[in-house]
Amino acid sequence: MNATASLKVTFCGVEFPNPFCLSSSPVGNTYEMCARSFDIGWGGVVYKTVGLDYEVTITHPSPRLNAMHRGPQKVVGLQNVEQISDRPTDANFRDLAKLKRDYPDQVVISSIMGLTHANDWVELAKRSQDAGADLIECNFSCPQMTVEGTGHKVGQDAAIIEKLTSLTKGACTIPVIAKMTPNVADMLPMALAAQAGGADAVSAINTVKAMSAVDLDSLVPLPNVGGRSSSSGYSGQAVKPIALRFISDMARDERLKIPISGMGGIYTWIDCAEFMLLGSTTIQVTTAILQHGYRIVEDMSEGLLDYLNDHNLTSPHDIIGKAIPNVTDPDGLSHEHQVVSEVDPELCVGCGQCYLTCRDGAAQAISMTADRKAVVDQDECFGCLMCRHICPVEGAISYKTVPHHGPPGC
């Protein structure tokens, strides 16, 4: 193994010791929290979004979270009704300044949101730069802001994104990132509008507007805030496929020239590598930290470094966007070949789950022998591989590629 890789990345001209950042949220709410995350190894912090408190007082509904669990697996998704920072604006900028003073080598990103006037963005941009922030992230994307005309409503309107990005850019000399909402059918026009307004990068995704559950006794959806609930931001593992979709959509389009900071359901170094392969230069995380703490960055660093070294690569830049040439629209997929399943009788435990899914959801190509071994009729199998996805025994069902033999039963 050639152990020479470094995790340093350059994003918008700013050098990060590694690509791993806290995303803007309660995980980066105070100086003390961010400092502790830097001590553990995070390369950057996107500080909790700051507004101007002399215009609007922010209070958070309580409880502000509802978690989705699946059997023993905790927090497969997380719904929150939290708004931007409820701390005094001055205290936030004081913390930000102290953070940059004490950690000059780590990257401090100020997340801002104007609340009542377009010019709020100008004031917040100036104050961010004066506090020493390396970059600014414009929060165009929170789905549960109660201040009219803010949050993801801004992020759904390309003309407003362009205008506010341009105002922010005009007020500072540090790079500006536009944070995108996934609550749109197509993110690309919004990203292109940010670019037209002068954004140096885009970040995605903020939370997906969702409703996670209803309490069957009280009939109140969750989280139950004083007897009522609301659809609001969903994050964590459940949103990772949505995030990867939007990030790859943007990375595939050559009109978008600016880099991407990716987030949404990142837990492990493998998630990080996937986001980078699909076009993210830096990585941001919230929900995994809420669940497991800052220490997850140790696994991310070690895993990504090993991956680079194992592939004889020296930098994360060697993998950014490298999976994009393998992405196409559905009409670009090959129809010449198909796969067919194969069951290893030595490993088959005879549970019959593959038989059931094939019978009730596919080609009726799997039968069970008298001694309860699954057998695939490969002439009938149309290769959906659902049997393989649900098989409880790793390796018991494999597949091979054959010429496409058309629909089953013909």
Q: Which of 11, 12, 21, 25 binds ligand FMN (CB under 6 A)?
A: 25
Q: Which stretch binds ligand FMN (CB under 6 A): 8-16, 78-86, 331-339, 383-391?
A: 78-86
Contact 81, 226 (CB under 8 A): no
Q: Least Å distance between CB 155 and ligand FMN?
A: 10
Q: Which stretch binds ligand FMN (CB under 6 A): 75-83, 250-258, 338-346, 400-408?
A: 75-83
Asked if residue 29 binds ligand FMN (CB under 6 A), the reply is: no
Contact 179, 165 (CB under 8 A): no
Q: Print burial letters for 282-315: b (CB count within 10 Å at least 16), e (below 16).
A: bbbbbbbbbeeebebbeebbebbbebbeeeebee
Q: Which of 52, 78, 158, 340 binds ligand FMN (CB under 6 A)?
A: 78
Q: Which of 161, 258, 285, 363 binds ligand FMN (CB under 6 A)?
A: 285
Q: Looking at beta carbons only, is 264 or 383 nearer to ligand FMN?
A: 264
Q: Least Å distance between CB 80 and ligand FMN?
A: 4
Asked if residue 238 binds ligand FMN (CB under 6 A), the reply is: no
Contact 394, 403 (CB under 8 A): no
Nearest by Cα to 134 from 39, 34, 243:
34
Asked if residue 341 binds ligand FMN (CB under 6 A), the reply is: no
- Label the pairing between strands 366-368 and 374-376: antiparallel
Touching ligand FMN, residues 85-114 (CB under 6 A): 111
Q: Where are the alpha helices (DSSP H) in 197-350?
A: 240-252, 269-277, 287-292, 296-310
How many of the chain's residues bind ligand FMN (CB under 6 A)?
Answer: 28
Asked if residue 179 binds ligand FMN (CB under 6 A), the reply is: yes
Nearest by Cα to 47 from 132, 137, 118:
137
Contact 66, 223 (CB under 8 A): yes
Q: Least Å distance between CB 139 and ligand FMN?
A: 4
DSSP label of 323: T
Q: How far, in Å, are 37, 208, 271, 284 from residue 294 at the CA level? A: 6, 23, 16, 12
**Catalytic residue selected from 21, 34, 142, 272:** 142
Class of residue 250 by CB neighbours under 10 A (exposed 0-12, middle 13-18, buried 19+):
buried
Contact 103, 38 (CB under 8 A): yes
Asked if residue 147 binds ligand FMN (CB under 6 A), the reply is: no
Asked if residue 277 binds ligand FMN (CB under 6 A), the reply is: no
Asked if residue 139 binds ligand FMN (CB under 6 A), the reply is: yes
* 188 φ/ψ angles, rounded to the nearest 5 degrees: -60, -45
d(CA 325, CA 341): 28
Touching ligand FMN, residues 193-222 (CB under 6 A): 206-207
Asked if residue 44 binds ligand FMN (CB under 6 A), the reply is: no
Asked if residue 143 binds ligand FMN (CB under 6 A), the reply is: no
Q: Where are the alpha helices (DSSP H) in 144-239?
A: 152-155, 158-170, 188-196
Asked if residue 316 binds ligand FMN (CB under 6 A), the reply is: no
Q: Least Å distance between CB 382 and ligand FMN?
A: 35
Check if 34 is active-site. Answer: no
Q: Which stretch binds ligand FMN (CB under 6 A): 7-15, 76-84, 187-195, 316-324?
A: 76-84
Binding site for ligand FMN (CB under 6 A): 23-26, 48-49, 78, 80, 82, 84, 111, 139, 142, 179, 206-207, 233, 235-236, 239, 263-266, 285-288
**Catalytic site positions:** 142
